[in-house]
Structure 1
Amino acid sequence: MHAEVLDRKSRATKRTALGVLVAVLGLAAALCVSVGTAAAVQPAPSVHPTGGGGGVVIVRMVDYRLEQPAMFPPGRFTFRAVNMGRAPHALQINGPGVSNARTPVVQPGDSADLTVTLSRGIYDFWCPVGNHRQMGMQLDVYVN
């Protein structure tokens, strides 16, 4: 009889462990779906190569940050500044061989292109409108 009680307890323990394992796996699957959905809603900034080490780079200007890659190879790039925020924004670039190149002010929902040639070094990208730079619309971009 003592063996029967131990056998029942062992089976109950195994069922509990299995239930916990199933719950953990379900939670992990739900998190994966959630992360996948968030990534689908907010696609990463992209570079569209045009050959010769350059391309068209989408810069998302959001209240109050710049969303774009922070590393590039040397080359000629067109930065397409897309205003996805509610306030007017612009894009300004300063660095080796580029002296304060900028787009006009871009209204919400609009975009403007800025073509520059980047050589090795560190470039400063920012929004020159109002105090947007101080509010976080600034990014160091590395070219190597």
Structure 2
Amino acid sequence: MRTDVDANGVASRRTLGVLFAVITLLTALCAGATTAAAAQPAPAGGPDAVTVRMVDFRLEQPTWLPPGRYTFRAINAGAAPHALEISGPGVENARTPTVRSGDAADLTVTLAPGVYDFWCPIGDHRQLGMQLYVRVG
């Protein structure tokens, strides 16, 4: 990358301004992604709510959670039908029904410390990338 400098070797204001704008944009994007992915506390001691966006062909959700009881709101934001399935310590193949495009389903489970496998069990969606590991603890 070429930086415009004056005779004293000082970078131009324009170059510094562009660099500052890029850093500000990246910081805002990272902060927004972290905030959007956080679990929402439940009212009156119920399960915490976590949004899982099922998109062709990926899952968008937090990859770390504290131990606790969660209701995963699986929203199909893709074109194909999807479902959410979870396995891990104390959770064996908990699954939502098949969710059509634009619809959602809830799945409530208690997560103990450990690593959980989240995936879409429809067709070959898991092999296409609709799978991720979530660390709890």
TM-score, length-normalised on structure 2?
A: 0.80
Structure 1 residue identity aligned to 2:40? H
Q: Report the number of matched residues.
A: 130
How far the C-alpha of 1:45 sits from its partner, in A, is 2.2
Matched, 1:77 2:75: no
Structure 1 residue identity aligned to 2:13? V
How far the C-alpha of 1:23 sits from its partner, in A, is 1.9
Q: 1:28 aligns with which of 19, 39, 63?
A: 19
Q: Is the 8 A contact 1:52 1:75 kept in 2?
A: no
Cα distance in 2 for partners of 1:40, 1:96 equals 31
Structure 1, gaps ≥5 residues long: 1-11
Q: 1:67 aligns with which of 19, 36, 60?
A: 60
Matched, 1:131 2:124: yes
Q: Is the 8 A contact 2:47 2:108 kept in 1?
A: no
RMSD over aligned Cα atoms: 2.5
Cα distance in 1 for partners of 2:66, 2:123 equals 31
User: In the alignment, what sits opposite 2:89?
Assistant: 96
> 1:88-110, CA deviations, whole angstroms, 9 ceiling, x for partnerless residues?
11100011111101011111111
How far the C-alpha of 1:21 sits from its partner, in A, is 2.2
Matched, 1:106 2:106: no
Identity %: 55
Cα distance in 1 for partners of 2:32, 2:66 equals 28
Structure 2, gaps ≥5 residues long: 1-5
User: In the alignment, what sits opposite 2:7?
Assistant: 13
Structure 2 residue identity aligned to 1:48? Q
How far the C-alpha of 1:135 sits from its partner, in A, is 0.7
Q: Alpha carbons of 1:53 and 1:140: their partners in 2 closer, same or farther (altered >3 Å)? A: farther
Cα distance in 1 for partners of 2:24, 2:41 equals 31
Matched, 1:45 2:37: yes
How far the C-alpha of 1:53 sits from its partner, in A, is 9.2
Worse-superposed segment, 37-46 or 96-105: 37-46
Cα distance in 2 for partners of 1:97, 1:52 equals 21
What SS does the aligned partner of 1:28 have?
Answer: helix
Q: Alpha carbons of 1:86 and 1:40: their partners in 2 closer, same or farther (altered >3 Å)? A: farther
Higher normalized helix content (fraction of residues): 1
